[in-house]
Amino acid sequence: MATMVQAIRMALHHGEKNLGVTDIFGEDVGAPLGGAFTATQGLETAWNSPLDERGIISTAIGLGLAGDRCVAEIQFCDYIFNTVDLLKIAGNMLWTSNGQYNMPIVVMTPVGAGIRGSVYHSHSFDSWATRLPGWKVVMPSTPLDAYGLMVSAIKDPNPVLFLKPKALLRVRGEELIPGEPDEKTLKSMIDAPIGDRSKWKARWPDLGEFEIPIGQGKIVREGVDITVVSYGRTLPLCVKAAAELAEQGRSVEVIDLRSMYPYDWAMIRDSVRKTGRVLFVNEDTEVTNFGEHLAYRVTQELFYELQARPRVLAGKNLPGIGLHPNLEEASVPHLEDIKHELELVLAEVP
Amino acid sequence: MRQTQVAKAKANVKADAKAKLAAGSKPRAKIAVKTAKPTKERALTLLSKPQLVNMMDLMVKSRVLEERLIKIYKAGDAFFWIGGPGEEAFGVPLGLLVDKGQGPSHDYLHLHYRATPTLVAMGMSYIDSIRLIMNRATDPSTGGRNFANHYCYPQWNVVPVGSPIEVQYGMAIGTGISQRRLKMKKQKSGVSIVTGGDAGSAEGDFASCLIWSSRPEKELPLYITVQNNKWGISTPYSEQHGEKNVADRGKAFGIRTNVVNGNDPIETYFQIQGDLEYIKKNTRPVLTEFQVSRLYGHSSASGANRENGDDPIELFEKRLVDSKFVKPGFVKELWTAYDTESRQISDIVRAEAGPLSDTIWDHVYVDNENADWRKF
Ligand SMILES: Cc1ncc(C[n+]2csc(CCOP(=O)(O)OP(=O)(O)O)c2C)c(N)n1
Ligand SMILES: [Mg+2]
């Protein structure tokens, strides 16, 4: 079974072979490294950019203006912040030009905590990203979704921000990508060897066309007592929490939102109507958090169907995430927090 | 009516030229001998009379438009004015020399907010610019969404002019990469031309442009230009920069650099022509600094009143008159005709409707895919 990073690599290969991708670029994205997390190893159109995030985003915009298709990488989302005005420009290009210039670019960047990355390799960007109108924003939690969302992102004529939960990049999925070979074979085909890579060339498996439409969530576990909505790194934690609560006779429905904008409101609405209780979980900082927007909407549209106040569990409102495990774990949601919050919402009596 | 006036002024010039031809006079050759400043006058003879007259005409046409835009602002018919009066001797030659068309096989224009002269020379009509400043629904650049001089013409590769200073220098890298790719495939390819101010070159995007365009074996066909008017709003050049010329910064990257008098349309014409030829031939960038005037201050925020400074139109008119390419009244006649035209067009545009409020959601995404979360 492919890891998420292999899935992304295969989707990018599909992009350059079949979807017209001309440039996959960013810091250390080309040979020999193929990306800080190896997402771009062996790709024909991958190249190394100067160490210049503003240059990377503005180059992507220029390529988009020229009608080329590119996937640009910001090595860690912690370093995307000095490009925010350029992201705004990419998001408003179509609108300001009154429909005359669209911006068909993909920007991908690893996000979140969970790899002991300390202050500057643990930031999140999902809440920031949802404040970039004109962009679509996605974040997978499985290799299969990563493949399907990347294919959709490349095909989309709008700018798409593809957030990679870095703690899940090496995790294998349970569902296979159609046409995916077994683990060992895949590794021998598409993982660059250690040492001299100058003569190495990837051999790409023949994968079928597989897409996950942007804007579609997924119910990963059905339940009737409470809904938990999450994405990215905290999603598998929510699934685990649901499984543990099931042992206590609690039935938790878990939604993997997958797309933050546009988001699958119909799925959230129908689920919350059924359960009457909802918890939103993500690891971006908690003040002005995207989960708050969803909780607000639930309150506005489903108020009289609720059995409990909607809650948001997010990262603490801190300037950074400390390196020591005690610090990191106290800063972002972990399994026990999620279980605890679920229990609080479940215990509330209307 | 307006057309007849402009046509009349031009017809007078033609008649004048014809009369001279009939009389067998060869003004160009004579001037070179007669004048006290032979080099300058020789410069004039490098272009044909129709070219010189056309250049003068476009410079006046652009200036009159800018002055009309200022009047529109001052009359309360626009919220803001910013533009390029004083940059005509740079902008008009640029507009005349551009390879105009759509896609990377033609030149891309990453312009700043003082580009009216370039657009006028490329063929933009008055009504387009006036609709933009009056933010009418008919505004072809932004549909009433953005400021004066924030042009957008995809059919000419004029990508949207934005307010954030200097970002265009980074975007030019991307179109330049696309053009280099065509060139490497031996297909017709254009140049990515970028314009901007002196103060703004302190932004990192300017450095990005120099660095990305000069990497060995990856050099880009970029025409990096700076219009140095010696000001960034109220801060003089000496407080913004330590380097003598902005263009000097290109030298560290092995980029060919030039500093030219941007108030002399002949000098800029041949500089731009030579630079574009070099870029196309070598697929390498050029950085040229044009020293220009800022004749109406920064923008309407600082009053948009006439200020001191060399006026490229007055200077050029004098040369053309001294050399007898045009009669003394030529520019005045043109001016009056264009002014009438601009006034009549403002009257038309004033009567046009603004964009409807429910169009705010249009073009957030391609094909007006729903962007309003209330409707997901
Ligand atoms: C990134 C950014 N910072 C500040 C401003 C506000 N601003 C608009 S024009 C300007 C001065 C620009 O000076 P210069 O680059 O010399 O161009 P000029 O206006 O003189 O042509 C400033 C500070 C802006 N538009 N964008
Ligand atoms: Mg200036």
Question: Is the previous residue joined to A262 through a cis bond, with omega within 30 degrees of 0?
Answer: yes
Q: What pLDDT does residue B40 have? A: 43
Tell me the pLDDT tens digit for each residue of B62-85.
Answer: 999 999 999 999 999 999 999 999
Residue B296: inside a domain, yes or no?
yes
- CA distance linking residue A34 with residue A12, whole number of Å: 12
Q: Which amino acid appears at position B132 of this protein?
A: L
Q: What pLDDT does residue A209 have? A: 85
pLDDT band at B3 (very low <50, low <70, confident <90, very high): very low
- CA distance linking residue B121 with residue B96, whole number of Å: 6
Chain A and chain B share a number of CB contacts under 8 A equal to 149
Please give the average per-residue pLDDT across B337-361, as a whole number. 98
pTM: 0.94
**Residue B367: pLDDT over 70:** yes
A107 half-sphere exposure, CB direction, 13 A CA radius:
35
**Residue B306: pLDDT over 70:** yes
Which atom number of ligand 1 is nearest to the Cα of residue B167? Answer: 1
Residue B207: inside a domain, yes or no?
yes
What number of other Cβ atoms are within 10 A of residue A2's Cβ?
26
Percent of chain A with pLDDT over 70: 100
Task: Kindly report the CATH number assigned to the domain that includes residue B213.
Answer: 3.40.50.970
Residue B35: inside a domain, yes or no?
no
Residue B361: inside a domain, yes or no?
no
**Residue B35: pLDDT over 70:** no
Q: Is A121 a catalytic residue?
A: yes
Q: What pLDDT does residue B9 have? A: 53
Testing the interface with B: which of A16, A53, A58 to mutate, by most B Cβ within 10 A?
A: A58
Alpha carbon B122 to chain centroid, angstroms: 9
- Does residue B302 line the site of ligand 1, with CB under 6 A? no
Residue B373: inside a domain, yes or no?
no
Tell me the pLDDT tens digit for each residue of A258-274.
Answer: 999 999 999 999 999 99
Looking at the structure of chain B, the number of domains it has is 1
What number of other Cβ atoms are within 10 A of residue A206's Cβ?
7
Which neighbouring-strand residues pair with A110?
A: A164
Q: What separation in Å is there between the alpha carbon of B163 and the centre of ligand 1?
A: 8
Interface of A with B in 221-260 (CB under 8 A): none
Domain that holds residue B344: 44-352
Q: What pLDDT does residue A259 have? A: 98
**Residue B214: pLDDT over 60:** yes
Residue B12: inside a domain, yes or no?
no
Domains within chain A, CATH numbers bracketed: 4-190 (3.40.50.970), 218-347 (3.40.50.920)
pLDDT band at B349 (very low <50, low <70, confident <90, very high): very high
Which tokens sit at B282?
């070598």
Please give the average per-residue pLDDT across A54-82, as a whole number. 98
Residues 6+ apart with CB under 8 A from B328: B321
Give A236 or B9, the one with higher predicted confidence: A236
Q: What pLDDT does residue B38 have? A: 40
* Rg, Å, chain B Cα set: 21
Contacts with B367 from chain A: Cβ below 8 Å: 157
B237 within 8 A of B231, measured Cβ to Cβ: yes
pLDDT band at B11 (very low <50, low <70, confident <90, very high): low
**Residue B31: pLDDT over 90:** no
Q: What pLDDT does residue B42 have? A: 81
Give the one of A50, A66, A133 whose C-beta lies nearest to B175's C-beta: A66
- CA distance linking residue A118 with residue B60, whole number of Å: 61
Q: What pLDDT does residue B41 have? A: 64
Nearest CA to ligand 1 atom 13: B232
Residue B173: inside a domain, yes or no?
yes
ipTM above 0.90 for this complex: yes
Tell me the pLDDT tens digit for each residue of A49-59.
Answer: 999 999 999 99
Residues 6+ apart with CB under 8 A from B61: B120, B334, B338
Which atom number of ligand 1 is nearest to the Cα of residue A85? Answer: 1
What number of other Cβ atoms are within 10 A of residue B64's Cβ?
24
**Residue A120: pLDDT over 50:** yes
Give A1 or A255, the one with higher predicted confidence: A255
Residue B5: inside a domain, yes or no?
no
B328 half-sphere exposure, CB direction, 13 A CA radius:
0
Q: What pLDDT does residue B32 have? A: 43
Please give the C-alpha separations between residue A345 and each of A233, A292, A302, in angstroms, as whole numbers. 22, 16, 16
